[in-house]
Structure 1
Amino acid sequence: MIAKPLIDALPSGGCSASACGSSAAPEDMAPEVWAKVKDHPCYSEEAHHYFARMHVAVAPACNIQCNYCNRKYDCANESRPGVVSERLTPEQGAKKVLAVAASVPQLSVLGIAGPGDALYDWRKTKATFAAVATDLPDIKLCLSTNGLALPDHVDEIVAMNIDHVTITINMIDPEIGAKIYPWIFYKHKRYEGLEAAKILHERQMLGLDMLVARGVLVKVNSVLIPGINDEHLIAVNREVKKRGAFLHNVMPLISDPAHGTHFGLTGQRGPTAEELKKVQDACEGGAKLMRHCRQCRADAVGMLGEDRGQEFTLDKLPETIEVNPAKREAYRRQIEAKRELAAFARMAVKPAETKPGRVLTVAVASKGDALINLHFGHAKEFLIYRADALGVKFLGARKIDDQYCQGGLGEDSSLSRIVELIRDCDVMLCAKIGGCPRGELKAAGIEPSDAYAHEYIEPSIAALYAARCAEADADA
């Protein structure tokens, strides 16, 4: 049931039922496109509250070197692209997918993202997809690529019904590309520097054009590297929109020296949250932005923001696996009912009249279902939203390195890092919070609140925003 305060409070710009979870397509999206993305947690911000994805690490070989990449195998402790615990054969990969599907009814997407390049290792990628599609026809197939080999495989991609492809495009100016890619391997020859970047750029643009022409949805990933391509990514965004990219994901460079990447070892820093947001905001009006990316491992399993990969290593897979299609379909019906309720919550509220320029930034602890339903101390990330006179907008997710509650006790060092992580927020909404973190957040100027526990996120923020505006007007 929707709480009464929410019914009077949604700022204009709030979602309609069709845009926010019902089975109907949003007004600005063709029904056939909506059918492709509505259950895809990476292509639909709304779907990531309900559906899980998994990556299988069957493609270790790569045809380019990126200064931000160091592919690691047999590694369970790092959470970033290019890292896996196990490299799998196509047969092992397909078995793992079936095991996850039998245990995780939320699973809707199988992706191959390496740990090398899915298209340079195309034989293994293709064999894995073919085996899974036979035994699990309801799963969506998608792959990630650097784009160098992409034009050679577009026909096969279409023939295999792979209707989601992600291309990592960090530049459209080869002069900038030469600072990111030391070499590529193309047509049995190694190219370096500017020549390598020119070839890569041309192949990426050709591949993008070919996919769009064949009706394949393309998401573009870009790694934001301060001082190298930060301002340039605005031009990248405009160019990929012009060429028909469905979504653009601007991600922060991960450059810890411990990871062993060239950028990490040479002191190239990653962007701050403010710098990332600045570039993302500057791209508004270009290609639609993805702001809910978690920069997943190449063997990630589960909902975005969680990784259950260690539950499904080869030694833990059962000998006999039986996927129950009826169970998967029943889960989808449950999810559709939840989405309808969330859509109703959004559409049932009325616009709040307020002065322009008032802004509220809110951090939310959530474990899914679009609800404020997680204890502060159990959060491994916060969802960040902005409320203003135009509505409530999702800005992105901020990962917590160490959650506050560990073994039933609060960890002071983790709390200080969490406070710093959300210091730019005005309010922190959660299902429950203890006295110590409540006091630390207040001291930092962040209002902690569990008043909206187990309510829907966006209407709750709208209600809070309307109440704050009413208080400001009363005090004026």
Structure 2
Amino acid sequence: MALDFTKHPCFNPDVKGKYGRVHLPVAPKCNIQCGYCNRKYDCVNESRPGVTSNVLSPGQALYYVNDLVDSGKPISVVGIAGPGDPFANPEATMETLRLIRKRHPDMLLCVSTNGLNVAPYIAELAELKVSHITITLNTIDAEISAKMYSWVREDKKPLRGLEAAEHLLRRQMQAIKAIKAHGITLKINTILVPGVNDGHIGTVAAFAKSEGADLHNIIPMCPVEGTMFEDIEEPTPAMIHAARDVAGSHLPQMTHCQRCRADACGLLAEGTTQETLNLIEKAANAPINPDEERPYVAVATREGVLVSQHLGEAANVHVYKENDGLIQPLEIRTLPSKGGGDERWTAVGATLKDCRAVLVSGIGPKPTKVLRDSGVKVIVMEGLIEEALECIYAGEEIRAPLRPTKCGEKCAGDGGGCG
């Protein structure tokens, strides 16, 4: 089936009021720290990149898109833009794109990235018919770049200063060449930061044009509390217009950008509606792999009333089921013995293979990852079991408070991780 590229509202302003997009928040990690970015995962009141109300697994993302299509929303584009960087989370990003392409073959697919780690995946992106890629290129000057970013991570090593800037620019140049070599439409985003890169915008546009970029989007920096640029004032409309006049002599300019959230959905001019929030919460509370049969929920509890136990300390979990709208206890299930590292947590995942989630008062990062990889969603909370289970089975957000503790704090462990 031939894809209709004219239906992308970001690249074709003539259809921005007719066709919409959905951004799937499946990529929470990032591999650079921009001076203007503060990623928040649960804020519903801010509309800017890096913000989302939920983070989804690839299976949950497909579940969400299915619901959006069934609801009749005029979605023509599925994009991944964070809340971190898609290719700091390449497994989740690529699996999401594969699932969407298989289930919705006529949907346009796009990704937005800083360009640091996209190059190894461009060939498969082309095979999946990802038709549009955006790279955020704020400068082509390493000295300016060093002022834009706090650090850049190469594998697990953080780079800083000019070393980081030069490394990022090399990777971005490689990515831009590979994207155009595969015939993919390329948009360049440039965040205009007064006093940092505002005098360099025309140079970026001229370079992007020489590399075959198709569209340029100059975005005014949004001052965000807790970032390196929080005290820099947002560019005025006059500054943005002047920058677009200069850059426009090299590349067509996008002038209808909405600085979308990582979970944006609908027409470009639409905010985040309650209907959309309800659908994404429903998806986030579905099993990590919604096609699997996982009817139960496990709870780490000492007394059977509250979510009150760290999973590393639990010898057993209480398992519950839903039957005709009623939450009922199923059984108390014994967990594998303590010790054994990852093997123990793999065994716990197998023990909970019919559970969509486990509710705990605490857990270490390693067992969280192992359980999530096995299809079990880990929910860290305190509160009544009954209320939490009602939310899960209704597809609603659990509003019980999270425990702000690290592994080893306020538990019997020694801080060395859950063995």
Q: How would you bin the TM-score normalised by the shorter chain? A: 0.5 to 0.7
Q: Which residue of 1 aligns with 2:234?
A: 270
Q: Deviations over 1:354-410 (max 9, x none)?
A: xxxxxxxxxxxxxxxxxxxxxxxxxxxxxxxxxxxxxxxxxxxxxxxxxxxxxxxxx
1:68 aligns with 2:32: no
CA distance in structure 2 between the aligned counterparts of 1:244 and 1:36, rounded to whole angstroms: 21
Question: What amino acid is aligned across from residue 227 of structure 2 in structure 1?
Answer: T
1:147 aligns with 2:115: yes
Q: Which residue of 2 aligns with 1:285?
A: 249
The equivalences for 1:88-237 within 5 A come to 88-237=56-205
Q: Deviations over 1:133-185 (max 9, x none)?
A: 22211111110110000222111111211111110000100100000011101
Are the aligned partners of 2:26 and 2:93 in contact in 1 as well (CA < 8 Å)? Answer: yes
CA distance in structure 2 between the aligned counterparts of 1:62 and 1:132, rounded to whole angstroms: 23
Are the aligned partners of 1:99 and 1:317 in contact in 2 as well (CA < 8 Å)? Answer: no
Are the aligned partners of 2:209 and 2:251 in contact in 1 as well (CA < 8 Å)? Answer: yes
Question: What amino acid is aligned across from residue 251 of structure 2 in structure 1?
Answer: A
Q: Deviations over 1:223-277 (max 9, x none)?
A: 00011101101100110011001100000000043xx22211xx11110111111
Are the aligned partners of 1:119 and 1:125 in contact in 2 as well (CA < 8 Å)? Answer: yes
Cα distance, 1:261–1:104 mapped onto 2, change above 3 Å = farther
Are the aligned partners of 1:294 and 1:304 in contact in 2 as well (CA < 8 Å)? Answer: yes
Are the aligned partners of 1:99 and 1:318 in contact in 2 as well (CA < 8 Å)? Answer: no
Q: Deviations over 1:419-440 (max 9, x none)?
A: xxxxxxxxxxxxxxxxxxxxxx
3-state SS of paired residue (2:219): strand
CA distance in structure 1 between the aligned counterparts of 2:89 and 2:247, rounded to whole angstroms: 33
3-state SS of paired residue (2:159): strand
In structure 2, runs of 5+ residues without a counterpart are: 291-419
3-state SS of paired residue (2:198): coil
Q: Which residue of 2 aligns with 1:261?
A: 227
CA distance in structure 1 between the aligned counterparts of 2:253 and 2:283, rounded to whole angstroms: 38
Are the aligned partners of 2:23 and 2:265 in contact in 1 as well (CA < 8 Å)? Answer: yes
Which portions of structure 1, spanning 4 or more consecutive aligned residues, are displaced by more than 4 angstroms? 316-319
Cα distance, 1:210–1:68 mapped onto 2, change above 3 Å = same
Are the aligned partners of 1:41 and 1:47 in contact in 2 as well (CA < 8 Å)? Answer: yes
CA distance in structure 1 between the aligned counterparts of 2:218 and 2:20, rounded to whole angstroms: 21
State the TM-score, normalizing by the size of structure 1.
0.58
Q: Which residue of 2 aligns with 1:87?
A: 55
Q: Deviations over 1:29-74 (max 9, x none)?
A: xxx9xx6531001111112121000001001111111010010011
3-state SS of paired residue (1:250): strand
CA distance in structure 2 between the aligned counterparts of 1:92 and 1:172, rounded to whole angstroms: 38
CA distance in structure 2 between the aligned counterparts of 1:111 and 1:176, rounded to whole angstroms: 29
Per the TM alignment, residue 188 of structure 1 is displaced from its structure 2 partner at its CA by 3.4
Question: What amino acid is aligned across from residue 223 of structure 2 in structure 1?
Answer: S
CA distance in structure 2 between the aligned counterparts of 1:69 and 1:318, rounded to whole angstroms: 27
Higher relative contact order, chain-length normalized (CA < 8 Å, sep 6+): 1
Per the TM alignment, residue 317 of structure 1 is displaced from its structure 2 partner at its CA by 8.7
Are the aligned partners of 2:56 and 2:283 in contact in 1 as well (CA < 8 Å)? Answer: no
3-state SS of paired residue (1:115): coil
In structure 1, runs of 5+ residues without a counterpart are: 1-31, 322-476
CA distance in structure 1 between the aligned counterparts of 2:67 and 2:236, rounded to whole angstroms: 38
Are the aligned partners of 1:53 and 1:301 in contact in 2 as well (CA < 8 Å)? Answer: yes
Q: Deviations over 1:175-218 (max 9, x none)?
A: 00000011101143211011101111111111001110110111
Are the aligned partners of 1:184 and 1:192 in contact in 2 as well (CA < 8 Å)? Answer: yes
Count of residues in correspondence between the two structures: 284
3-state SS of paired residue (1:310): helix
Q: Deviations over 1:315-347 (max 9, x none)?
A: 37998x9xxxxxxxxxxxxxxxxxxxxxxxxxx
Q: Which residue of 2 aligns with 1:336?
A: none
3-state SS of paired residue (2:242): helix
Are the aligned partners of 1:98 and 1:132 in contact in 2 as well (CA < 8 Å)? Answer: no
CA distance in structure 1 between the aligned counterparts of 2:4 and 2:207, rounded to whole angstroms: 24
State the TM-score, normalizing by the size of structure 2.
0.65
CA distance in structure 1 between the aligned counterparts of 2:164 and 2:90, rounded to whole angstroms: 21
3-state SS of paired residue (1:100): helix
Are the aligned partners of 2:5 and 2:108 in contact in 1 as well (CA < 8 Å)? Answer: no
Question: What amino acid is aligned across from residue 166 of structure 1 in structure 2?
Answer: T
